[in-house]
A and B are shown apart, each in its own frame.
Chain A
C-alpha cells in the first residue's frame, strides 16, 4: 500500500518568506507527527496530532511555526517569516494511533533551504 507522502520534496525560499509543507499519511492512520532533522543530527519532534487535534505541540520552536490537520488526514506545516536556521529536512510520520507503543512510518521528507 501507499506510504506516507510529503510535498514538495525540496523547497528553496528566501529569508522572511512564508512556506507550507504538506503531509499525506497512510490511509487509516489516526496519529500524525512532524519532526525536523538538521544535518548530522537525529530527527527532533515538533508536533503530534491525534485525529484533528494537536495532542502535543511542545516541540514547535516558536510561534512562527504552526501546523493543522483539519479533516484528520492531510496535515500542513506552516512556517512564517522563515530564517536561515529553519533550513532542515522536515519529516512527517503516521501511525495507527493504537495504545502505546505504536509503530511510526516516516515519509521521505521535505528538504527546506532558506537563503
Chain B
C-alpha cells in the first residue's frame, strides 16, 4: 500500500465548475500536510499548506481530517489555468524534513 494515495484522474471539468480532490495517508505520525501543483514537464510548486482547522486561499480550500487520515482540496470557479496535476504531500516529523508525495491527480479544465 502506498503511503499517500490519490485518485489519478483525469478529472475533466468545464470552466466555472467546482471540483474536489481527496487523498489518504497511511502513517498516523504524519505531522504536516500540503498540496503542490505540477504543470506538465515542470517542477512541483507549493499551492497551500493544510491545517486541521481547514484553510482557504481565494478559490482554493483545503481540509484535513486526522482521525480519518484524509486530506481534501476544493477548487471553486475553475479556470483553464487550473489545469495541472495536484500532488498531495505529507511530512513526518521523525523523517527529517523529507516529503512523501502521492501519485497526483490530473485536472483538465475545458472551455
Interface residues of A (CB under 8 A from B): 31, 33, 35, 40-45, 48, 50, 55-56, 59, 91, 95, 100-109
Contact (A42, B98) CB under 8 Å given A106-B45, A108-B42: no
Main secondary structure of the interface of B (DSSP, over half): strand
Count how many pairs of residues, one from A and one from B, have CB atoms less than 8 Å apart in the complex.
59
Interface residues of B (CB under 8 A from A): 4, 8, 31-32, 42-46, 49, 87, 91, 93, 95-104
Complex alpha-carbon distance, A109 and B95, angstroms: 23
Query: Do residues A56 and B44 form an inter-chain contact, with CB atoms below 8 A?
Result: no
Query: Do residues B96 and A48 form an inter-chain contact, with CB atoms below 8 A?
Result: yes
Query: Do residues A43 and B44 form an inter-chain contact, with CB atoms below 8 A?
Result: yes
Q: List 16 A-B contacts (CB under 8 A).
A: A35-B101, A41-B104, A42-B101, A48-B96, A48-B98, A91-B44, A100-B91, A100-B97, A101-B31, A102-B97, A103-B46, A104-B46, A104-B99, A106-B43, A106-B44, A109-B43
The distance from the CB of A62 to the nearest CB of chain B, in whole angstroms, is: 18
B100 touches which of A45, A48, A103 (Cβ 8 Å): A45
Query: Do residues A48 and B97 form an inter-chain contact, with CB atoms below 8 A?
Result: yes
Complex alpha-carbon distance, A50 and B97, angstroms: 10
Query: Do residues A42 and B46 form an inter-chain contact, with CB atoms below 8 A?
Result: no
Q: Residues of B contacting A35 with CB < 8 Å? A: 99, 101
Complex alpha-carbon distance, A53 and B33, angstroms: 26
